Every structure is written in structure tokens, then in C-alpha cells.
Amino acid sequence: MRKEALLYEKKEDKSVRCGLCAHRCVIEKNKFGFCGVRQNIDGVLYTYAYASAIAAHIDPVEKKPLYHFFPGHLSFSLAAAGCNFRCGFCQNWEISQVSLAKEGQSPGGGVPLLPGENLTPQEIVRLAVENNCKSISYTYTEPTIFLEYALDTAKLAKEKGLHNIFVTNGYMTREALLAVKPYLDAANIDLKFFKDSSYKKVCAGALTPVLDSIRLMHELGIWIEITTLVLPGENDSESELGQIAQFISGIDKDIPWHISRFHPMYKFSGHAPTPEEALRKAAQLGGEAGLKYIYIGNIHALGSDTRCHNCKKLLIKREGFSVLENKIKGGRCSFCSAIIAGRFDTFDGVQAPA
């Protein structure tokens, strides 16, 4: 459905400046922003992503991936169409790269419609509670682009005792992050490259706003974990991976770093998968930078368990996205009593993937 957008500035010529993401698009009358789902109609900015769920599933929270935020629990996962990046390797490109602007939609002939099911914030929260989810994750596409939808849902979720999670590229404005901060408990942020030129070439974005978002989320007390997809020939040099590790470590050595294996898809279908050696090297660089929790994802049986940073004992045993065993008690290692960074409770059972 169409809804007036948040965070925009009206100009005298009936153009508007969107303040949602770091593109800060100036949108002329009847035109769309870069995301392709926000349109200026006669000087008023509207979003078409509100209450239009292009994907809704129940996932283990580990799938986000979040390994230190109530591990083993279920999260209701929600997405609306659209994105503010153009990543050629996007695994969800069929829903993230939907754009009304590409389809030549205009105010004439009725309200443009995005693909998706009409699902209100109230219905989302009800479904999350009925399915024993501990949280709602705004994921699969970029949640910044459907902030109005996510924000209304997050407010209701809080009232029901649910947590809220963003799985994000981090390319939002400070204003957008401050708007959602009172309701946002955790985020997994993609740190895709450590070169501005790579962000521009591959994603049509920039590095600095992503780094600023990571710093600000940490300052605001939002639990964060960071994911880097290791792309052969793009960001897999020791220099670049080492810079990413050093950046994370410089903010907080307790931030978990998820090093993810690339599999060919979308515009990168001709690339080779990430070699195991490159993933292990990245993990080594993370350790040298002082990071306490390093995980290797998208590859079976390699680096998904949580170990105590102090005594090195196995604390959380995972198989795929399932938690088989959890020996963290009261946020501490049950062997040496070291504090384990994260948000934990007493769950210690087995949770199979949804």
C-alpha cells in the first residue's frame, strides 16, 4: 500500500530530499528514488513498501546470522521489496532488485503495486507470538528501505515483549538509525569491502556511511555482529581482510565477525566459490587483530561453534542453523566463568531450523 514516507524534506520546486539512506536522493516531481519504491507525487514523498510483505518466514536466529543474540531461538523474518544497493552477488536479488521505477510506473492509472502479500504490523506480531518467536527480523532485502513498515511493526513487537533485529547493509542515515533505535535490539551488518572504489563499482554505494553506521549502532548499545562475504578477486586480499578485522577490533573486540563463503549467483555466476584456504586466512587475520569470536559461514562444519575466548572450551555446538548444546550460563562460560559477550538466556535445548 502507499503511505507518506518518513524523513524527507520538501523543496520549493516540489522536489524532495529523502533522508532515509546515505544516497540522500533529491527526487523530482513524479520520479522515484534510487531504491525504486519511494516516489515524489506532487511534492509529497510516498513509500509503496508499507504492509507489503514480499517474504515472511520463521527462521532460527542463527540464520541472520546472529550467534550471540539469544542463540537457538526462532525469529519471524520479514521483507518488503527494494534495496538501496545494486550488489551483483545478491542472493536475494529477485526480491531486492524489484523496482517500480524500472517498470515505468507513474501516478496515472492508479496506485503502483509492489509484489507481495498484504501483511499489517499487527498481523506480523500476532504470527510471531503464535509461532513462539522471540524476535522479529527485518531481513532478506534492505530494512532501511521499508523503515516505516519496520518501525510500526517494531513498536508493536516491543509491546509484546519481542526483540527487533535488522539485517542490513548499513547504508542508512544517522536520522534513520536514531528513529528506530528505541525499538532495535540487534543487527547484523554487512561490511562488504574496505575500499570505497569497490563499494561504488559493485554495490553503487560508498564505504564511509557503512562504517559510520557500525560505529553509531555500537555507541547506541545495539548488539551488533558483522558479516563479510569473501569474494575471490574482489575483497580477498590479506590487506583488505586485515583492514576489516582491524576496524572491527578497533570498535570492540567482542563484536562477532562472520566470514561467509561466496557461492556463484546473479551477476557473479561466473565467479568461483571462495576457497576454504581464503576463509581460514581471514579467520587467522581476525584472530591476529584480537577478535574474540570469529565464525565461518556458508560452508558445512567449518567454524560455526562458539568457544570461550578465555579457556577455549566449547560452549555452543551448532549443526547448520541448529543449536545442539549451549553451555553458556548467565552470560558466562560454565567452565571458567569468563563473561561471554552477547545477549543470552537459559535456553540450552536443541532447535531445528524452521
Number of other residues whose CB lies within 10 A of the CB of residue 232:
15
- Compute the distance between CA of residue 323 and CA of residue 312 in angstroms, rounded to an integer: 18
Q: What's the alpha-carbon Rg for the chain, to the nearest Å?
A: 20
Query: In angstroms, rounded to a whole number, what is the distance separating the alpha carbons of residues 243 and 288?
Result: 11
Give me the helix-helix angle, 147-159 and 121-130, nearest 10°: 50
Q: Which residues of the chain have pLDDT under 50?
A: 106-109, 347-354
With beta carbons less than 8 A apart as the criterion, state whether 333 and 325 touch: no
Contact 95, 141 (CB under 8 A): yes
Architecture of domain 49-311: Alpha-Beta Barrel (3.20)
Start-to-end CA distance of the chain, whole Å, equals: 29
How many C-alpha atoms does 6 have within 13 Å on its Cβ side?
Answer: 20
pLDDT of amino acid 100: 78
**Do residues 188 and 227 touch, judged by C-beta distance below 8 A?**
yes
What is residue 200's DSSP assignment?
Answer: I
Number of helical (H) and strand (E) elements in the chain, helices listed first: 8, 21
Domain with CATH 3.20.20.70 in the chain: 49-311
Q: How far apart are CA 234 and CA 204, in angstroms?
A: 15
Give every CB contact of residue 17 below 8 A, 6+ residues apart in sequence: 8, 9, 11, 24, 25, 26, 27
Give the 3-state secondary structure of residue 303: coil
279-304, pLDDT tens digit by residue? 999 999 999 999 999 999 988 767 89
Would you state the pLDDT for residue 116? 76
Query: Using an 8 Å Cβ cutoff, are 146 and 82 in contact?
Result: yes
Q: State residue 102's pLDDT score.
A: 62
C-alpha cell at 180: 528506530
Question: Can you name the residues that pair with 41 across neighbouring β-strands?
Answer: 44
Separation CA 208–CA 199 (nearest Å): 10
- Which residues, in sequence order, are CB contacts of 278 under 8 Å at separation 6+? 230, 232, 236
pLDDT of residue 133: 97
pLDDT at 137: 98
Query: Do residues 105 and 31 make contact, with C-beta atoms less than 8 angstroms apart?
Result: no
- Nine cell digits for residue 280: 581460514
- Cell numbers 523543496 correspond to 11
pLDDT for the residue 115:
74
Q: Is residue 157 a contact partner of residue 125, using CB atoms and an 8 Å limit?
A: yes
- The string of pLDDT tens digits covering residues 224-235 is 999 999 999 999
| DSSP β-ladder status, 16-18 and 8-10 | antiparallel
pLDDT at 108: 44
